[in-house]
Each structure stands twice: as C-alpha cells, then as structure tokens.
C-alpha cells in the first residue's frame, strides 16, 4: 500500500518535510500539489502518479471539494478497488499512516486508521487559571 498526499500550494511539501523530520523516512509516501502551473498540469501529474502505482493507494487530500480532492475522487469512482481518498489531511494522519502502513491489510483499515489519527490529533487545552500556569514544566 502506498500513500499520496495531494494539496493546494506547498502544503503537501510541508507535510512530507514534517514526516521526514519526525520519522526520518518518507518510504511509501509521495505528493502532488496544485500550484501556479494550473489545473491541467496538476491533473496530468496526478494521473501519472495513479498510473505508476503498483500497490493499492490511499490519497490524503487537503480540502473536500477542492481540485486535489475532486480529481482524486474521480479516479476513485473509476477504480474503487485500488484507491481510497480521505480529506482533511494533517501531520498526525500522515505520521500514523506512514509508520503503520506495513502492518495494514486493507485500504479500509488504512482509512479507519487515518480517520482516528486525524481526529485524535486535534486538541484544545482547557483554560488554565493563572496560578496553575506557574506549575507547567517544559
């Protein structure tokens, strides 16, 4: 199973950089970004990645309804056995999937993993009163 990150601008590049920085590896992970070259160029590069895939592919897109998602979803509709598309990509999703991918047995298992990692990666700390702030150790 392989991972493809597809986003607007340099977000995919940043996620790849973060993954490499934290795990030391980007094995099984590639990216394609929609950039100033336009939609046709992006579509061509994305289709090339799809045609080169020798294993099932999970696509992590940035924004549901955006071009990277829509183009990936169109491919999914034509090849539902070979690909899954998940929107809302964040670094916890990428790290979790990249580090666990060799132990996953199906695309659906990968989707469940990234969904949980994405949700669990979002945290909002409770308000802390002024007295407690002095006790925080970093």
- 48-77, pLDDT tens digit by residue? 999 999 889 999 999 999 999 999 999 999
pLDDT of residue 137: 65
Look at residues 43, 30, 108 and name the one whose alpha carbon lies nearest to residue 74.
Answer: 43
CATH topology of domain 2-118: Rossmann fold (3.40.50)
Q: In what order do the strands lie in the sheet with 29-34?
A: 29-34, 2-8, 57-61, 83-87
* Mean pLDDT of the region 25-37: 95
Torsion from C-alpha of 123, 124, 128, 130, nearest 10 degrees = 110
The beta strand positions in 48-130, using DSSP E, are: 57-61, 83-87
- 84-135, pLDDT tens digit by residue? 999 999 999 999 999 999 999 999 999 999 999 999 999 998 876 655 555 5
């Amino acid at each position: 199973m392989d991972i493809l990150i597809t986003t607007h601008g340099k977000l995919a590049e940043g996620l790849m950089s973060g993954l490499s920085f934290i795990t030391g590896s980007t094995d099984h992970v590639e990216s394609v970004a929609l950039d100033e070259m336009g939609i046709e160029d992006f579509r061509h590069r994305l289709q090339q990645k799809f045609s080169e895939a020798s294993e099932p592919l999970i696509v992590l897109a940035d924004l549901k309804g955006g071009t990277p998602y829509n183009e990936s979803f169109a491919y999914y509709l034509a090849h539902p056995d070979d690909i899954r598309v998940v929107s809302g990509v964040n670094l916890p999703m990428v790290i979790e999937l990249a580090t666990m991918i060799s132990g996953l047995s199906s695309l659906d298992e990968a989707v469940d993993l990234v969904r949980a990692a994405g949700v669990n990666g979002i945290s909002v700390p409770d308000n802390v009163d002024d007295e407690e702030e002095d006790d925080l150790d970093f």
